[in-house]
Amino acid sequence: MQQPQNEADIKIAGCVSCVDGFIVSLLDLPDFHSSFGIRRSSLTFNAAQLEIRLMAKYIFVTGGVTSSLGKGIIAASLGKLLQARGLKVTIQKFDPYINVDPGTLNPYEHGECYVTEDGAETDLDLGHYERFLSIFTSQSNNVTTGRIYQTVINKEREGAYLGKTVQVVPHITDEIKRRMLLLGQDGYDIVITEIGGTVGDIESLPFIEAVRQLQWELPEEDCVVVHLTLIPYLRAAKELKTKPTQHSVRMLSQEGVHPDVIVCRTEEPLSPEIRRKIALFCNVKKEAVIEAADAPTIYEVPLAMMREKLDLICLRKMNITQYNEPELGKWKEFLDKLKYPKSKVTIGLIGKYIELQDAYKSILEAFVHAGAMNECKVNVVNVHSEFITEENVEEKLNHLDGLLVAPGFGHRGIEGKIIAVRYAREHKLPFFGICLGMQMSVIEYARNILHWRDAHSTEMDPATGHAVIDLMESQKAVTAKGGTMRLGAYDCQITEGSLAHRIYGSTHISERHRHRWEFNNLYLDDFERAGLVASGKNPESGLVEIVELPTDVHPFFFGVQYHPELKSTVENPQPIFVHFIKAAKDYVESKEEKRSVQKETAG
């Protein structure tokens, strides 16, 4: 029997008795279970028709002992391995905080807000999922406690519960379960669900209870629980300690959830004795105790998990026997380039949330992808925009090979960003501005080339005489903050022959957005007469998406209103980042040539 890719529908007209006979004969086929990986409970019947549908299987990833162990990386790595074996996989994240989404959270609180194609403001872990699996996620892939409660309360107000007392169990847990199973209806073979927080947290209890119920309700081979925990190494005693893991698993078991696999974060290798001890006291097989040692880069984790056979253990527990050898050629090629670069550049990241690296997570990962594509190590230097002045800008930026002015909101650190943009423009330093960074390049150009000294954005100065950046017309009546920005993918028409055209190799692109303020088209003619080119515009609204300087004026001066970093993946690095790093390499070479000429002249 040929194995279907995602979903098989076999429909047979006839009486019910004939259909029942067909079911029996089909289930008796020797390769039925192994080919389809389903049981009779996975069949759906419709009187005179029979539909055989491959049902999704579910993997839940929980965490214990401490936060920040890397559940998202483990989930993404497992997903990558299963995908590499020919299975259709998606990953979702359930966060226990009461915010409806992370859109209104300060980056210091929870890192960057990752925006999906459909405009969902989500947890940064969805960025890992997309970067590892090269798939698009959506609103359905990130659910918070706030969204769960909002849905249940709205239903209660509508009378959907028919006067029942609305409670955490069953109403909240039922809504959690509904959302956990939702993606399984979209033709995926496996849905991986990461449960945010740490086992034992009060706010995550309803999610753990929902997992318990699903572990009981679903067929045994359709549900796997992977628990990520910590094995600390006590340097004074020079030994690994398993007690925190034992307590974590015991706490999870007290909630009724029994892990099938235990993944152990550790600084030191796990000996066979340690593995046996964990298996014995945590009630799992010894082979289901997985070592997750610290890795030089997150992109080595999938290969580490493959060596530990994490994917094979999960496949065996899900009774999936038909799969391919993992196809990871591109991934390994990327890692080789990443580990053995032929050159090096130093890029300045000008931002105001630099104390927390997760605030710019997608940008940093896009640099990793672009660096590997250029066989170049990208050394990112954080420069706090709040502390850049006219007096110290030379000292802070003169050692850089490229400058990226990061996105953000609010007035803090704005003048420092404008000063940095001017330095890059005047010194022919490769410049890349994203969202607010692009807006700062427009303001700098207005002040120093058009000589509009009061030019500004109405976000920072509502009374400015030259509002070169202004609130979008569609945003002027908006008062609510959450989910009301210009969000998600929008089209952009690119001018032929421009730098943008050379970068993308196309005149039509689509990129993701997250902003309220935009280039003010009232001043567009003035800017273009002064040499700043609006090389990309939205075809429907005419809003400026890309600004650039001609390459005969500046080697690489490029600003975008959108967030290109959000679509950069290991296998498809974002082209602007790739060209930006190439420009930085060229800048390094030009500096070396100048030094060489100066030495010869001096000699």
Per residue in 312-368, pLDDT tens? 999 999 999 999 999 999 999 999 999 999 999 999 999 988 888 888 999 999 999
Q: In Å, what is the CA distance from 91 to each residue of 2, 16, 55, 133, 313?
A: 27, 38, 16, 9, 18
Q: Residue 502 half-sphere exposure, CB side, CA atoms within 13 Å?
A: 11
Mean pLDDT of 11-24: 34
Are 116 and 483 in contact, with CB atoms under 8 Å apart? Answer: no
Torsion-angle region of 371 (φ positive above 0: left; ψ -120 to 50: alpha; else: beta): alpha
Mean pLDDT of 283-288: 95
Q: In Å, what is the CA distance from 591 to each residue of 341, 400, 536, 582?
A: 20, 11, 31, 14
Query: pLDDT of 358-391, one tens digit each?
Result: 889 999 999 999 999 999 999 999 999 999 999 9
Question: For residue 201, which phi and psi values (nearest 5 degrees)?
Answer: -65, 140
* Residue whose token pair is 């010894």: 286
Q: Residue 372 half-sphere exposure, CB side, CA atoms within 13 Å?
A: 24
Question: For residue 325, which phi and psi values (nearest 5 degrees)?
Answer: -70, 145
Catalytic site residue from 113, 314, 435, 492: 435
Least confident of 27-36, 140-149, 246-255, 494-503: 27-36
A 10 A CB-CB count for 391 gives 8
Element containing residue 128 per DSSP (H, E) = helix 125-133
Q: What is the DSSP string of 254-271?
A: HTT---SEEEEEESSPPP
Element containing residue 537 per DSSP (H, E) = strand 533-537
Q: Is the pLDDT of residue 16 over 60?
A: no
Give the model's pLDDT for residue 446.
97
Give the model's pLDDT for residue 481.
58
Exposure of 424 by Cβ count < 10 A (0-12 exposed, 13-18 middle, 19+ buried)?
A: buried
* Residue whose token pair is 């004969």: 25
Tokens standing for residue 515: 């902003």
Active site residue 563: yes
Give the model's pLDDT for residue 479.
59
Bond into 232 cis (ω within 30): no
Residue 483's pLDDT band (cuts 50, 70, 90): low
Give the model's pLDDT for residue 486.
84
Q: Is the pLDDT of residue 599 over 90?
A: no
Residue 573's pLDDT band (cuts 50, 70, 90): very high
Least confident of 100-109, 196-205, 230-239: 100-109
When comparing pLDDT for 590 and 493, which is higher? 493
Active site residue 565: yes
Residue 596's pLDDT band (cuts 50, 70, 90): confident
Give the model's pLDDT for residue 42.
46
Residue 422's pLDDT band (cuts 50, 70, 90): very high
Q: Exposed e or buried b for every residue in 361-373, given b needs 16+ CB within 10 A?
A: bbbbbbbbbbbbb
Angle at 333 between CA 330 and CA 336, to 5 degrees: 155
Mean pLDDT of 466-473: 88
Beta strands 455-457 and 466-471, pairing class: parallel
Residue 323 Cα to chain centre, angstroms: 27
Active site residue 435: yes
Give the model's pLDDT for residue 355.
82
Mean pLDDT of 438-466: 95
Q: Is the pLDDT of residue 33 over 90?
A: no
Q: Is the pLDDT of residue 475 over 60?
A: yes
Give the model's pLDDT for residue 45.
42
Bond into 170 cis (ω within 30): yes
Give the model's pLDDT for residue 467.
94
CB proximity list for 173: less than 8 A, separation 6 or greater: 206, 209, 210, 213
A 10 A CB-CB count for 335 gives 18
Residue 480's pLDDT band (cuts 50, 70, 90): low
Helix, strand, or coil (residue 99)? coil
When comparing pLDDT for 410 and 138, which is higher? 138
Give the model's pLDDT for residue 55.
82
Tokens standing for residue 579: 């060209």
Give the model's pLDDT for residue 53.
46
Question: For residue 530, which phi and psi values (nearest 5 degrees)?
Answer: -85, 0
Q: Is the pLDDT of residue 516 over 90?
A: no
Exposure of 298 by Cβ count < 10 A (0-12 exposed, 13-18 middle, 19+ buried)?
A: middle
Q: Closest Cα partner for 41 from 209, 191, 219, 300?
A: 219
Catalytic site residue from 171, 515, 563, 579: 563
Angle at 528 between CA 527 and CA 533, to 5 degrees: 105
Q: Any alpha helices (H) in 283-413, and if so which ranges?
A: 301-307, 310-317, 329-339, 361-373, 393-397
Give the model's pLDDT for residue 25.
40
Tokens standing for residue 556: 């690489």
Least confident of 231-235, 502-506, 574-578, 581-585: 231-235
Q: Is the pLDDT of residue 273 over 60?
A: yes
Q: Is the pLDDT of residue 556 over 80?
A: yes
Tokens standing for residue 194: 């990461």
Helix, strand, or coil (residue 82)? helix
The mean of the pLDDT values for the chain is: 88
Q: Residue 119 half-sphere exposure, CB side, CA atoms within 13 Å?
A: 10
